[in-house]
Amino acid sequence: MRKNLARKITKPTSLASYWLAQWPLCLAITVTGFIYNFGMLASPYFEGALVDSIEAKSTLHDVLVLVGIFIGVIAAVLIARALKRYTVRRFANNTTYAMREILENNILHRDYAKGDENGVGSLLAKVISDVEATVEGMRKLTTEIFDTVVMFFFYIVFMFLYDWRMTLYALIPVGVAILVAFLMRKPIYKASSEARKANSNLSSTTYDLFDNAITYRIYGRDNDHAKEYDGVLQAYEKKTVKSLTLTDLMIPLAEVIAMLGLIPIFIIGPSKVVDGAALSAPISGIMKSTWTLGAFTTYITTFVLMATKASKTAKLFGSIEKGLASWKRIKPIITPYEPYENAVEVKNSDTISISHLDLTIEGKTLLKDFSLEAKRGQIIGITGPIASGKSAFAKLFLKTLPYEGSLSCFGKEIKDYRPNEIAGTVLYMPHHNELFTESIVDNIALGDSRDVMPYLQAVSFTTDLASMEEKENTIVGNEGVKLSGGQQERLALARSLYYKKRLLILDDPFASVDPKTEAEIVANLRTLCGDSLVLLISHRLTSFKDLDNVVVFHGDGTYEVGKEKELLQSSDLYKTLYALQNEKEVSK
């Protein structure tokens, strides 16, 4: 069920659809919930029956039979309870899985230009947290529909069978307790939210205090920063105490209010036992027709169980309030599940043709009237000062940034590319690559069965493998922590070559690689990527002499294109970058 659940939910903005999509499971919850909650009446009923049996001086055999039946019924009730808890937890797990799958799929299908300003990763982290809170509220509601609402119904009906007037009096404080818990749900949630924010602020400030302690001391700001930290700590303590006070006192307060219902019971009940008054509506064959000590015991026990459950509604209301707040944040961005289309390679032509392209970001013009022609089999170098638009230009091919003019990629305008066409045609290796806590082979193949060794050889990694005991099965650690910076870059590059497309964009892949290794890799690119167009973005110009063309971005909208030999004659900027590169190499 879980695997295809996300696709079955046609109205993901309606919480009811998540229950309807799992109706067999919800039916199981209903059946086991009714058995469990109705069976909970067995405890007070048999306690009263035992009291009456002992008072009537029944034989030991009769008492043991009654105890045996009691134990059997309670065992069945506990089994029903376990099954209900299992089915509710399974419902929650399925809902979490489905909701996360839908949202993650929605976010990854979004137009990146309209995405979260802090990035997809940040948005996903927020969404995952909100999904957990939403589903927890749904789980609590599903559970408490039976453990509170249904149980209340059974308990109240059961008490009415004994005496309807006394039950009405006893229920007044219980109703007040539930009302108080309901009214306090928002203040409690608000206090809890403020406490969580204060805790997050304290954590950030603490990390800052330790990470930058020396810097603050050097500039004479350590005392001021310590005072600031004390203020953050005091705010955290104040808000946390308030939150804990409201949360911890609400349940005992509601329980005390609910237990006031014992007053009319103890005022009215004993006289009924003494007088042997008739029950309001006894069930023949199950209940005695008059008030006895056992009947009074059953009645009191039933009320105490109900009043205790009423006091727990404060926690229920809090979870639901938190869940609804999270749902409000999720709802605007959740849409029906849209499965990814199979990747399609665009191959209407073998060239990329850029004409009169303008690229402006936040009011800054990075490229103005830019034109370029390139074809498969070529390696085009792209360089320029920091923040001159190199990476921004690369992201145009992913449709993550808007542009003016024409950017025709293999015979089709990038603006007209569908997501599956980008996936099948363009591969972008970013400057900062993610490595998984897996082996070298797993980080390259990502589960594919093809041999990874040709790609490790292409990035000059074989010498590194020779010094590793587990060779390509070596675990690289979290984010490649067990590898050097150069090894991390080459491993990410090997993965990019393994999955190369018609257009391969490499964003600064040699920042931590020595010039000799860089030259070897660029030579291998010629062989391995002969059927691809490679855009090589780099501050390092070591291998640019071997490239088919070089593009220099100035960062003010202007640019230059040519062979390195030509640029060293005509471009002052390129000559400056080249000289700086040589100075760095000499200093090493």
More confident: 585 or 442: 442
Residue 41 lies in a domain: yes
Residues 201-212, mean pLDDT to the nearest whole number: 81
Tell whether the model's pLDDT for residue 9 goes beyond 80: yes
| Per-state percent for the chain, helix, strand, coil, to nearest 5 | 65, 10, 25
pLDDT grade for 277, boundaries at 50, 70 and 90: very high
Looking at residue 120, what is its pLDDT? 56
Does one domain contain both 314 and 374?
no
* Range of the structural domain that residue 542 is part of: 351-587
CATH of the domain at 298: 1.20.1560.10
Tell whether the model's pLDDT for residue 319 goes beyond 60: yes
Does one domain contain both 46 and 179?
yes
From residue 8, alpha-carbon distances to 89, 98, 106, 508, 567 in Å are 20, 9, 15, 43, 59
More confident: 346 or 209: 346
Looking at residue 114, what is its pLDDT? 47
Residue 186 lies in a domain: yes
> Structurally, how many domains does the chain consist of?
2
Does one domain contain both 260 and 379?
no
334 CA to centre of own chain:
14
What is the pTM (predicted TM-score) of this model? 0.63
Domain final residue, candidates 333, 361, 378: 333
Q: Please name the helix (run of DSSP H) or strand (run of DSSP E) that holds residue 246, with its range, or none.
A: helix 222-259
Looking at residue 196, what is its pLDDT? 82
From residue 378, alpha-carbon distances to 352, 498, 515, 525 in Å are 11, 18, 21, 10
Q: How many CB atoms lie within 10 A of CB 522?
A: 21
Looking at residue 269, what is its pLDDT? 93
Looking at residue 469, what is its pLDDT? 79
Q: Provide the edge-to-edge strand list for the sheet that holds 351-361.
A: 364-375, 351-361, 404-409, 412-413
Does one domain contain both 263 and 388?
no
Cα 313 to Cα 250: distance, rounded to the nearest angstrom:
10
More confident: 536 or 129: 536
From residue 281, alpha-carbon distances to 159, 265, 290, 430 in Å are 10, 18, 10, 77
Most trustworthy range by pLDDT among 202-216, 407-421, 437-451, 511-525? 407-421
More confident: 564 or 291: 291
Tell whether the model's pLDDT for residue 482 goes beyond 90: no
- Hey, which residues does 533 pair with through a beta bridge? 503
Cα 482 to Cα 245: distance, rounded to the nearest angstrom:
47
Q: How many CB atoms lie within 10 A of CB 416?
A: 11
Looking at residue 544, what is its pLDDT? 84
Tell whether the model's pLDDT for residue 117 goes beyond 70: no
Residues 199-225, mean pLDDT to the nearest whole number: 79
Place of tokens 């900062």: 432
pLDDT digits (tens, 9 = 90+) for 444-462: 888 887 888 888 888 888 8
More confident: 26 or 217: 26
pLDDT grade for 116, boundaries at 50, 70 and 90: very low
Does one domain contain both 266 and 362?
no
Does one domain contain both 443 and 314?
no
Residue 429 lies in a domain: yes
Does one domain contain both 91 and 58?
yes
Does one domain contain both 158 and 215?
yes
Tell whether the model's pLDDT for residue 221 goes beyond 80: no
- Reference 259, options 307, 301, 311; nearest CA is 307
Domain final residue, candidates 281, 306, 333: 333
pLDDT grade for 122, boundaries at 50, 70 and 90: low
Residue 340 lies in a domain: no
Mean pLDDT check: name the lowest of 105-119, 382-396, 407-421, 437-451.
Answer: 105-119
Does one domain contain both 355 and 329?
no
Cα 257 to Cα 53: distance, rounded to the nearest angstrom:
34
Looking at residue 443, what is its pLDDT? 83
Domain final residue, candidates 282, 301, 333: 333
Does one domain contain both 278 and 383?
no
Tell whether the model's pLDDT for residue 394 goes beyond 50: yes
Cα 541 to Cα 577: distance, rounded to the nearest angstrom:
8
pLDDT grade for 164, boundaries at 50, 70 and 90: very high
pLDDT grade for 113, boundaries at 50, 70 and 90: very low
Q: How many CB atoms lie within 10 A of CB 541?
A: 20
Residue 101 lies in a domain: yes
Q: Please name the helix (run of DSSP H) or strand (run of DSSP E) that holds residue 365, with its range, or none.
A: strand 364-375
Does one domain contain both 324 and 471?
no
Residues 170-174, mean pLDDT to the nearest whole number: 93
pLDDT grade for 491, boundaries at 50, 70 and 90: confident
Residue 506 lies in a domain: yes
Does one domain contain both 121 and 178?
yes
β-strands 404-409, 412-413 pairing:
antiparallel
Residues 418-439, mean pLDDT to the nearest whole number: 85
Tell whether the model's pLDDT for residue 201 goes beyond 70: yes
pLDDT digits (tens, 9 = 90+) for 88-101: 999 999 999 988 88
Looking at residue 588, what is its pLDDT? 53
Looking at residue 115, what is its pLDDT? 45
Looking at residue 293, what is its pLDDT? 93
Looking at residue 535, what is its pLDDT? 92
Residue 418 lies in a domain: yes
pLDDT grade for 150, boundaries at 50, 70 and 90: confident
Q: What percent of the chain has pLDDT over 90?
A: 22
Are 302 and 41 a contacting pair, CB within 8 Å?
Answer: yes
Looking at residue 575, what is its pLDDT? 84
Are 303 and 159 a contacting pair, CB within 8 Å?
Answer: yes
Are 228 and 205 a contacting pair, CB within 8 Å?
Answer: yes
CA dihedral (393, 397, 403, 409) in degrees, to 10, reads 120
Looking at residue 148, what is its pLDDT? 77
Residues 155-174, mean pLDDT to the nearest whole number: 93
Looking at residue 3, what is its pLDDT? 63
Residue 133 lies in a domain: yes
pLDDT grade for 329, boundaries at 50, 70 and 90: confident
CATH of the domain at 551: 3.40.50.300
**To the nearest whole number, what is the mean pLDDT of the chain?**
85
Tell whether the model's pLDDT for residue 121 goes beyond 70: no
Tell whether the model's pLDDT for residue 466 goes beyond 90: no
Looking at residue 584, what is its pLDDT? 58
